[in-house]
Amino acid sequence: DLLAAHPAPGDVVADRGYDARAILELIAAHGGRGHIPTQRDRNVQRSVDPAIYRQRNLVERFFNKLKHFRKIATRYEKSARNYLAAVLMACSRLWARHYESAS
């Protein structure tokens, strides 16, 4: 469903849980390239570009840090506008914390 909404996905990066032939064929049918590591128990292992997979890891780490804010994790704000505002405030606080500790 997610890929059907986008005309050309380009590069699709996912973790080992999405290593299924049907998913990879769907990505290829839409003109994209799947950067999904192979399950460890498979005989033929696919290689994944380490730079692209490292960027995925950074995004997942950021979402993990974002979930530490109780308002975000429990979706305390019920309206989409207020929830987006809370997410933006938490993101800016994480960004400021990163640059504050760097100097």
Q: State yes or no: pLDDT of 7 exceeds 90.
A: no
Domain spans of the chain?
A: 1-59, 69-102
pLDDT digits (tens, 9 = 90+) for 37-83: 888 888 888 888 888 888 888 888 998 999 899 888 888 888 999 99
Cβ(36)–Cβ(53) under 8 Å?
A: no
When pLDDT is cut at 50, 70 and 90, the band that residue 1 belongs to is low
Residue owning tokens 């100097």: 103
Cα angle 89, 91, 97; round to 5? 100
pLDDT score for 6: 67
Cβ(77)–Cβ(83) under 8 Å?
A: yes
CA distances from 41 to 6, 16, 36, 74 (A): 32, 11, 15, 36
pLDDT score for 101: 61
pLDDT score for 85: 93
Q: State yes or no: pLDDT of 3 exceeds 80.
A: no
Q: 31-41 burial, b for 16+ CB within 10 Å, e for fewer? A: ebebbbbeeee
